[in-house]
Amino acid sequence: MEERNTEQWHEKAGQLGIVVIIPTYNNGKTLAAVIEDVLLYTKDIIIVNDGSTDNTPAILKNYPKLHIITHPSNKGKGTALKNGLKQAKASGYRYAITIDSDGQHFASDIPLFIEEIEKEPDVLLVGARNLTSDNMPGKNTFANKFSNFWFKLETGIQLQDTQSGYRLYPLHKINVQRFYYTAKYEFELEALVFAAWGGTTVRNIPIHVYYPPQEERVSHFRPFRDFTRISILNTLLVLITFLWIYPRNFFRKLTWNNCRKFFHTHITHSSESNLKITYAIMLGFFMGIVPIWGYQMLATLFLAHLLRLNKVIAIVAANISIPPMIPFLLYGSYLTGCKVLGRSVELHLTDISFENVKSVLEQYLIGSVIFATACSILAGIIAISLLTIYRRSGTT
């Protein structure tokens, strides 16, 4: 890395519009050292005192030139970061680097972030820790791998580290006012997912990290409670991914040229037989309607692989469950269940008794499987008819 003195780094950070945000809660033993180290690289610092009850207020009095946000009570790291990011954006900064105040991160890595955004502006950078380093808590390694898996499922992006708090946010590319509903540690995962969904490039850069011996650590992470929060968040994000993000991305790519290419590659000039193509379409229609919301695409991929059917065709057909179609599919499933079970179609919305809810759910579940089967067969009849008539090279 190119060597520069403090004044040169200050100038570079100022030119790029960088501010450093330091959220802190009862880290009085390390806070001053972190601030002093950050000051070597920039004077633009926002401290968010998240209701500290130790000597943090006394320490911050020694830095009257820094922008300090004080929460009267502890609101959680997510809220502290959101308020810091909102303040940074309102102050006109282009980038915000977030660094923890517990001394685990090295301010000397700030130039790494600066040099990366000089090469590639407006990218969201996440510091990637060495997960095999000495003193790395085992629970951190497991939690990070767990988080990495869900992040890839939700965004399609493979990251080495999704839980590091050492990051650079491009403030004009993320909407800190509108999104982000979580308040604790899970906010950092949510912010990454929403940024990726919004089209922001998200990637890792290697950083250094220090994990003190167990007896010296100050951690506010509550394994059971916070892990549960993260798990609930991932469940919701996966549902949104399969019900909205994947269909949205599919239709964004649905141009005339892409449609023509798809039919040319997978239909008219495919080496597969008409029956194999038809079966893939039927599988997609069936899986797109059956009530396994959030897991339809995964199940479709798995079954298409197991049955050796065209995965692309099956996934495209499964997109029958796109949001505009969902009301019709729900009604068709419920209506079918009512007809099969010989029950009234009317919904008694004023009666929310267990028996009524059970009856409606039973009608929907039974009806959805039958309705999905009927739609699948109908789609198959139409598909095999069209393939037989129009496909030049297909064989049955």
Same domain, 216 and 281: no
Residue 171 domain-assigned?
Answer: yes
How many domains is the chain partitioned into structurally? 2
Same domain, 38 and 125: yes
> Using H for helix, E for strand and C for coil, what is the string for 315-340?
HHHHHHHCHHHHHHHHHHHHHHHHHH
Cα–Cα distance measured from residue 175 to residue 188, given in angstroms and rounded to the nearest whole number: 14
Match 């899986």 to its residue by tokens. Answer: 287
pLDDT at 381: 95
Same domain, 161 and 28: yes
Each residue's pLDDT, cut to its tens digit, for the chain (396 residues) gives 455 788 999 999 999 999 999 999 999 999 999 999 999 999 999 999 999 999 999 999 999 999 999 999 999 888 999 999 999 999 999 999 999 999 999 999 999 999 999 999 999 999 998 866 655 555 556 677 888 888 998 998 999 999 899 999 999 998 876 656 676 667 888 899 999 999 999 999 999 988 765 555 555 555 556 667 777 888 888 888 877 787 777 777 666 666 677 777 777 778 889 999 999 999 999 999 998 877 888 899 999 999 999 998 998 898 887 767 788 888 899 899 988 888 877 665 555 667 777 888 888 899 999 999 999 999 999 999 988 887 754 444
Same domain, 235 and 283: no
pTM: 0.67
Same domain, 161 and 67: yes
pLDDT at 179: 55
Residue 257 domain-assigned?
Answer: no
Cα–Cα distance measured from residue 130 to residue 144, given in angstroms and rounded to the nearest whole number: 11
Ramachandran class of 322: left when φ > 0, alpha when ψ lies in -120 to 50, beta otherwise: beta
Same domain, 123 and 210: yes
Same domain, 321 and 236: no
Cα–Cα distance measured from residue 235 to residue 154, given in angstroms and rounded to the nearest whole number: 10
Cα–Cα distance measured from residue 340 to residue 333, given in angstroms and rounded to the nearest whole number: 11
Domain end, chosen from 222, 250, 278, is at: 250
Residue 395 domain-assigned?
Answer: no
Residue 50 domain-assigned?
Answer: yes
pLDDT at 202: 96
Same domain, 9 and 93: yes
Cα–Cα distance measured from residue 200 to residue 194, given in angstroms and rounded to the nearest whole number: 9
What does the DSSP assignment read for 131-182? TTSTT--HHHHHHHHHHHHHHHHHHS---S-S--S-EEEETTTS-TTT----
| CATH assignment of the domain containing 140 | 3.90.550.10
Domain end, chosen from 250, 276, 299, is at: 250
Residue 70 domain-assigned?
Answer: yes
pLDDT at 135: 56
Domain end, chosen from 197, 217, 250, is at: 250
Same domain, 162 and 287: no
Residue 142 domain-assigned?
Answer: yes
Same domain, 62 and 209: yes
Cα–Cα distance measured from residue 353 to residue 359, given in angstroms and rounded to the nearest whole number: 10
> Using H for helix, E for strand and C for coil, what is the string for 45-80?
EEEEEECCCCCHHHHHCCCCCCEEEEECCCCCHHHH
Is 85 in contact with 169 (CB distance < 8 Å)?
yes
Same domain, 281 and 204: no
Dihedral sign for Cα atoms in the order 166, 168, 171, 172 = negative
Residue 260 domain-assigned?
Answer: no
Residue 79 domain-assigned?
Answer: yes
Q: In terms of residue numbers, what domain contains 122?
A: 1-250
pLDDT at 184: 67
Same domain, 314 and 350: yes
